[in-house]
């Protein structure tokens, strides 16, 4: 089933730590802020600080505007650092990490995918340049058009559909190959592990 979600259907939700607001694009059926299978959101980070604890979840964070952020993740005594300086760079980390963000040069905006640990095989790909992207079948697929509109072509459908800028495409399941043509795209594929 193809579902195009416009910004008018996104929800504004306070952060778990109370230090900001998240724009929730979509969440698994019946999901809440503390219990969900998957969740997609966008947030602005305007100051250095600690991220909310999302133990039990895998996080993928993508830089979608601003000059960058350094993320320091501490888990089980190990520290890993990710520098997101280029548009559409991705940091993947355990939601149980003690994660702290340090802005490199002013506020940034990030796109977040969170999935319950062990529930899905997760693939996140970003495409900063204009072009054509082939997406193979999966249980649940998303595409987000960061800039400009995206043409959607499915193998068995003669006519193309259009994903407008800042809109989210959700397909469950994607049973056939899909081709997306546009620029500044985020594509997510989830496959059930069970």
CATH class of segment(s) 2-116: mainly beta
Mean pLDDT of 69-81: 96
Report the half-sphere exposure of 47 (CA within 13 A, side-chain side).
Answer: 5
**Residue ranges covered by each domain of the chain:** 2-116, 120-192
pLDDT of residue 77: 92
Query: Strands 49-50 and 120-127, how do they pair?
Result: unpaired
Match 């809109």 to its residue by tokens. 167
Report DSSP state, residue 32: B
Per-residue pLDDT for 22 more than 80? Answer: yes
Report DSSP state, residue 138: B
Interatomic CA distance for residues 116 and 54, integer angstroms: 10
Q: State pTM to two decimals.
A: 0.94
pLDDT tens readout for residues 76-128: 999 999 999 999 999 999 999 999 999 999 999 999 999 999 999 999 999 99
Query: Which are the contacts of 148, defined by CB distance < 8 A and separation ≥ 6?
Result: 165, 182, 183, 184
Q: Rg (Cα) of the chain, in Å, rounded?
A: 16
Per-residue pLDDT for 9 more than 80? Answer: yes
The residues pairing with 11 across neighbouring beta strands, listed in sequence order, are 24
Edge-to-edge order in the sheet of strand 11-14 = 11-14, 21-27, 38-45, 108-116, 57-65, 90-94
Interatomic CA distance for residues 5 and 85, integer angstroms: 28
In 3D space, the residue among 135, 124, 191, 192 whose CA is nearest the CA of residue 163 turns out to be 135
Mean pLDDT of 155-174: 90
pLDDT of residue 34: 87
> Domain 120-192 falls in which CATH fold?
Jelly Rolls (2.60.120)
Per-residue pLDDT for 130 more than 80? Answer: yes
Mean pLDDT of 26-50: 94
- Fold match, 2-116 / 120-192: yes
pLDDT of residue 166: 97
Mean pLDDT of 12-19: 78
């Amino acid at each position: 089933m193809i579902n195009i979600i416009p910004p008018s259907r996104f929800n504004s939700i306070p952060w778990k730590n109370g230090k900001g607001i998240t724009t929730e694009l979509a969440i698994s059926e019946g999901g809440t802020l503390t219990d969900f299978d998957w969740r997609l959101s966008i947030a602005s980070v305007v100051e250095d600080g600690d991220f909310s604890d999302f133990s039990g979840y895998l996080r993928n964070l993508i830089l979608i505007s601003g000059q960058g952020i350094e993320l320091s993740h501490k888990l089980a005594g190990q520290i890993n650092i990710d520098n997101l300086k280029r548009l559409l760079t991705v940091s993947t980390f355990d939601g149980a990490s003690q994660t702290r963000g340090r802005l490199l040069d002013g506020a940034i905006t990030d796109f977040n995918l969170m999935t319950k640990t062990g529930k899905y095989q997760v693939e996140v790909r970003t495409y900063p340049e204009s072009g054509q992207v082939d997406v193979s079948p999966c249980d649940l697929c998303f595409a987000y058009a960061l800039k400009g509109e995206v043409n959607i072509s499915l193998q068995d459908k003669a006519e193309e559909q259009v994903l407008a800028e800042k809109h989210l495409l959700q397909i469950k399941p994607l049973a056939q190959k899909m081709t997306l043509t546009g620029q500044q795209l985020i594509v997510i594929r989830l496959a059930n592990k069970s």
